[in-house]
């Protein structure tokens, strides 16, 4: 192959490969997979080995559990364990996590 052909192929293969737009859902997926999936399940619609399915959880529930290890008023927990630990470093990512879990609930199999 000539240098021009190789350069053209490289140009075609990288066309449209600019930086991915990180939407709230994509950021939330990264947060979930990094911090939650090991206990809850890679698929938030399914129960994990330690945590319940959490797809579709309300923002209030996510914030209360993740940051404060509490529940919103009137909420009845799905499990009666106390193994979860607070994840204060996720304080700025609650909306992203909520967006991802909402989308996961709408696209469950």
The pLDDT value recorded for residue 81 is 81
Q: With respect to residue 8, please indicate whether it lies within any of the assigned structural domains.
A: no
3 pLDDT band, cuts 50/70/90, is very low
Confidence of residue 79 (pLDDT cuts 50, 70, 90): confident
Grade residue 84 by pLDDT with cuts at 50, 70 and 90: very high
Q: How far is CA 59 from CA 4, 56, 94, 99, 101, in A?
A: 54, 9, 7, 9, 10
Dist CA 49 CA 61 (whole Å): 20
What per-residue confidence (pLDDT) applies to 8? 47
**94 falls within a domain:** yes
Is 5 part of a structural domain of the chain?
no
Does pLDDT of 92 surpass 80?
yes
pLDDT value of residue 21: 83
CATH number of 84's domain: 1.10.760
Residue 15 has a pLDDT of 54
**Domain span including residue 72:** 23-106
Rounded to whole angstroms, the Cα distance separating 42 from 33 reads: 7
Give whole-number Cα distances, 103 to 13, 57, 73, 106, in Å.
Answer: 31, 11, 24, 5
Tens digit of each residue's pLDDT (9 = 90 or more) over 7-63 = 444 554 555 566 678 999 999 999 999 999 999 999 999 999 999 999 999 999 999
Q: Classify residue 61: in a domain, yes or no.
A: yes
Residue 4 is assigned to a structural domain of this protein: no
Task: Inform me whether the pLDDT recorded for 83 exceeds 50.
Answer: yes
Q: How many domains does the chain have?
A: 1
Q: Does some domain include residue 12?
A: no
């Amino acid at each position: 192959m000539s240098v021009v052909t190789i350069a053209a192929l490289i140009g075609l293969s990288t066309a449209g490969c600019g930086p991915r737009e990180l939407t709230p859902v994509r950021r939330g997926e990264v947060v979930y997979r990094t911090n939650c999936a090991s206990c809850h399940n890679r698929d938030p619609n399914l129960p994990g080995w330690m945590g319940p399915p959490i797809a579709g959880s309300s923002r209030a529930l996510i914030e209360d559990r993740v940051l404060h290890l509490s529940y919103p008023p009137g909420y009845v927990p799905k499990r009666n364990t106390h193994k979860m630990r607070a994840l204060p470093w996720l304080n700025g990512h609650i909306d992203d996590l909520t967006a991802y879990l909402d989308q996961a609930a709408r696209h469950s199999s």
